[in-house]
Amino acid sequence: MQPADRLKQITPSLTLAISTKAKEMKAKGMDVCDFSAGEPDFDTPTHIRNAAKQALDQGKTRYGAAAGVMELREAIATKLKQDNQLNFTPQQILVTNGGKHSLYNLMMALLNPGDQVIIPVPYWLSYPEMVRLADATPVLVNTDETHGYKITPAQLEAAITPRTKLFVLNSPANPTGMVYSPDQVRAIAQVLEKHPQVMIVSDEIYEKIRYDDIEHLSIGTISNLSDRTIISSGFAKAYSMTGWRIGYLAAPLDLIKSATTIQGHSTSNVCTFAQYGAIAALKSDQACVEEMRQEFAKRRDLMYKRLIGIDGITCPKPDGAFYLFPNISQLGMNSLEFSQKLLEESYVAVVPGIAFGADTNIRLSYATDRDTIERGCDRLATFIKNQVKSTFPGR
């Protein structure tokens, strides 16, 4: 059987491939330090689990509205208003099967063949693939370490054409962990204000995982852009609910209606009782989020300190999320070769940067315990030291 033609241009997820191989090695008894998965290692907070259990006991196990339980949509709208100063009604919220699904629904509802979508590089690996699945064209704009891997207003202006339909903004960013400052967001907004045909999707899934009092400004708060800003987010990262598969899309009403139609013919509603766990996540005390954030901050500092002490790599200090994105271009290997050798020879799993459009880098997740970080960084330092000796014998 031949697959559909649309799949010929799609690349399988390298993050899942590396993570799967690492798990297979662990299952065989190998001591693998796994820095590949973008998944918090904490249990879902007890009160959230209890809310889902209570919903089960109350028989909330049947089909629901395709757009989501109204109480959850109301809670999301309230959260966006209180935390982000964004004005969305509950009717402008679509509850989806994870944050990834919210973006897929958006691409399918918004894009036509010939449309262009501007995506800064490095990017979360699914952005361009979703655009291609919608028969549109990703326009990839390379950023660099000197600008914190953030697109500049000049780069954005140069990339916009009459065919540009959507701009993707991810802050805090995966894979770099960088956050656009409020001034940087406003500067990007000034460019977009001149191009009214361009919609903006702001992926804010890591919004609550920020460090050093870094401020997060949603681009949708800028009045001239409020009617064409789309928010994609979810519960996976902040509340350690990755397996619950609950995300959401907040957008202009017509777009939400279109995305809901797509969801109605694909997955229909999100798991009913899981939505009640999400309600508890939003309506309950947020101390659990802060506890996890503080632990992530300690892990970031530990891993960053270890990485910048290794000769042969450079790495900016991330502002948020739980990733570091070091540059390995001095070591004479591309990112895939480096990652495969590191896993096979040193039992350390990282994600090759080529998955994010940056073959000069690797991504390390510090969503793991500090002992694993220490051991993994010891192995990484030894691996790089040996690589430098073999590649550059005189050093």
Query: 59-100, pLDDT tens digit by residue?
Result: 999 999 999 999 999 999 999 999 999 999 999 999 999 999
**Which residues contact residue 350 at a Cβ distance below 8 angstroms, ignoring those fewer than 6 apart?**
18, 35, 36, 339, 342, 343, 362, 363, 364
Residue 174: half-sphere exposure toward Cβ, Cα within 13 Å: 24
Distance CA 249, CA 334 (A): 36
* pLDDT(156) > 60: yes
Please, are residues 68 and 235 in contact by the beta-carbon 8 Å criterion?
A: no
Summarize the confidence of residues 260-280 as an average pLDDT: 97
Supply 105's token pair.
């629904």
Q: So what's the pLDDT on residue 307?
A: 96
Q: How confident is the model at residue 147 (pLDDT cuts 50, 70, 90)?
A: very high
Tens of pLDDT along 281-300?
Answer: 999 999 999 999 999 999 99
Summarize the confidence of residues 232-248 as an average pLDDT: 98
**Which residues contact residue 282 at a Cβ distance below 8 angstroms, ignoring those fewer than 6 apart?**
72, 75, 76, 78, 79
Give the DSSP H/E element, type plus range, for residue 199. Answer: strand 199-203
SS3 content of the chain, % helix, strand, coil (to 5): 50, 15, 40
Smallest CA-to-CA distance from 241 within 207, 275, 218 is with: 275
**Dihedrals φ, ψ of 354, to 5°?**
-60, -25
| Length of the chain measured in residues | 395
Q: So what's the pLDDT on residue 12?
A: 72
Q: So what's the pLDDT on residue 265?
A: 97
Tens of pLDDT along 308-319?
Answer: 999 999 999 999
**Which residues contact residue 89 at a Cβ distance below 8 angstroms, ignoring those fewer than 6 apart?**
77, 253
Complete edge-to-edge strand list for the sheet that includes strand 93-96: 93-96, 247-250, 229-234, 199-203, 164-170, 116-121, 137-142
* pLDDT(223) > 70: yes
* pLDDT(215) > 70: yes
Distance CA 175, CA 181 (A): 17
* pLDDT(1) > 80: no
**Which residues contact residue 9 at a Cβ distance below 8 angstroms, ignoring those fewer than 6 apart?**
132
**Which residues contact residue 178 at a Cβ distance below 8 angstroms, ignoring those fewer than 6 apart?**
148, 149, 150, 171, 172, 316, 318, 319, 320
Q: So what's the pLDDT on residue 6?
A: 81
- Going by DSSP bridges, is the β-strand pair 348-349/93-96 parallel, antiparallel, or unpaired? unpaired
Q: So what's the pLDDT on residue 5?
A: 81
Distance CA 362, CA 36 (A): 10
Summarize the confidence of residues 196-205 as an average pLDDT: 98
| CA 196 vs CA 137, 159, 322: distances in Å | 19, 15, 34
DSSP bridge partners of 314: 327
Alpha helices by DSSP H, 85-194: 99-110, 126-133, 153-159, 182-193
* pLDDT(218) > 90: yes
Distance CA 76, CA 168 (A): 21
Three-state SS string over 293-340 comes to HHHHHHHHHHHHHHHHCCCCCECCCCCECCEECCECHHHCCCHHHHHH
**Dihedrals φ, ψ of 118, to 5°?**
-85, 125
Distance CA 20, CA 191 (A): 41
Q: So what's the pLDDT on residue 185?
A: 98
Tens of pLDDT along 117-129?
Answer: 999 999 999 999 9
Whole-prediction pTM value? 0.95
Distance CA 51, CA 371 (A): 33
Smallest CA-to-CA distance from 323 within 208, 169, 206, 233 is with: 206
